[in-house]
A = this chain, B = another copy of it.
Amino acid sequence: MNTLMNRRLVLASRPEGMSIASDFRLETVATPMPTDGEVLLRSVYLSLDPYMRGRMSDKASYADPVAINDVMVGATVCQVVESKHADFVKGEWVLAYTGWQDYGISNGEGLIKIDANVMQPSYALGILGMTGFTAYMGLLDIGQPKAGETLVVAAATGAVGATVGQIGKIKGCRVVGIAGGAEKCAYAKQTLGFDECIDHLADDFAEQLAQACDNGIDVYFENVGGKVFDAVLPLLNTGARIPVCGLISQYNATALPDGPDRMSMLVATLLIKRIKMQGFIIFDDYAPRYNEFAQQMATWLASGEIKYREDKVTGLENAPEAFLTLFNGKNFGKLVVQVNQPL
């Protein structure tokens, strides 16, 4: 086993604006071996998520940045390939946080076992993991959707957005998605069951959105920002709720946009319309409610009420290019990298 080699992607440089493939460097090093009380994990699936862009930057954020030359962080679904830990045996599936590499060592702390008989292991990175949990708590706890209300979801076919919209339908909302291009919009309506989906690439996007929301917007699930938020803002109803989950259009911005300064206008809108706008970080805010979520979501998946699409890329070496598709509109579904074959 001592010849086992570990491919890993380290952060080579901090991106200026959009991250590029050369901000990562592929290295191959000897795999460390587990000592007593440890397990050696082999990554089968790596999750790629927008929040990772924040970790590449040394701007202040909710988590420390990845250091230059350190392995990029990320959630993974792994199998135990060697165990010196009493609680784990070879072949077991676990949700781990080994990052962008083939192998990782763990003392067991934070590992969550996955029953591969009950679900596809990669789902633990998406619909039954952080992605689904984010959609569920953000929409239901902060958004408080009520039957008959209008819910607008940007990045409607993205991993979070697709789930938000489907939960909104279950709760009886009129759901209006926003997505880039005809294919995604058709998917949102035909497969996910959204009432409408507006193409943000259209010249008259704001007008189309206003038309689709003729009773205004009661809940806007914010995961995009930028011109989508600009179009949403004048349509918000009195008493609207805005869970702020992400701002993917802004993550590669290097400077604030030109003026006028609309910050006070936004606050005035919150006041005049009695709007609640609230950011959240899923496991920091809601960890104790994970089981409630997981049971409900498993039921919805089993009944077909929630549909789930993965965007699966093969090969760790392709992770940097795949990561960029989260920001250029090419990603379609929950993005996971198949790093290795299962045992």
User: Considering the chains assembled together, what is the distance between the CA atoms of A60 and B276 in angstroms?
Assistant: 19
Closest to A277 in B: B277
Q: Which of A224-269 contact B (CB under 8 A)?
A: 225-226, 229, 238, 244-247, 250, 253, 255-269
User: Which residues of the partner chain B approach A250 to less than 8 Å between Cβ atoms?
Assistant: 264, 268
User: Which residues of the partner chain B approach A260 to less than 8 Å between Cβ atoms?
Assistant: 255-259, 261
User: Considering the chains assembled together, what is the distance between the CA atoms of A261 and B264 in angstroms?
Assistant: 10
Q: Does A186 contact B (CB under 8 A)?
A: no
User: Which residues of the partner chain B approach A257 to less than 8 Å between Cβ atoms?
Assistant: 259-261, 264
Q: Is the CB of B278 within 8 A of A264?
A: no
Q: How often does this chain occur in the complex, in copies?
A: 2
Q: Does A272 contact B (CB under 8 A)?
A: yes
Q: Does A61 contact B (CB under 8 A)?
A: yes
Q: Is the CB of A247 within 8 A of B267?
A: yes
Q: Which of A255-310 contact B (CB under 8 A)?
A: 255-281, 284-285
A142: min CB distance to chain B, Å: 8
User: Which residues of the partner chain B approach A270 to less than 8 Å between Cβ atoms?
Assistant: 244, 277-279
User: Which residues of the partner chain B approach A284 to less than 8 Å between Cβ atoms?
Assistant: 274
Known: A238-B62, A260-B256, A260-B261. A274 touches B281 (CB 8 A): yes
List residues of chain A with CB under 8 Å of any chain B CB. Answer: 60-62, 222, 225-226, 229, 238, 244-247, 250, 253, 255-281, 284-285
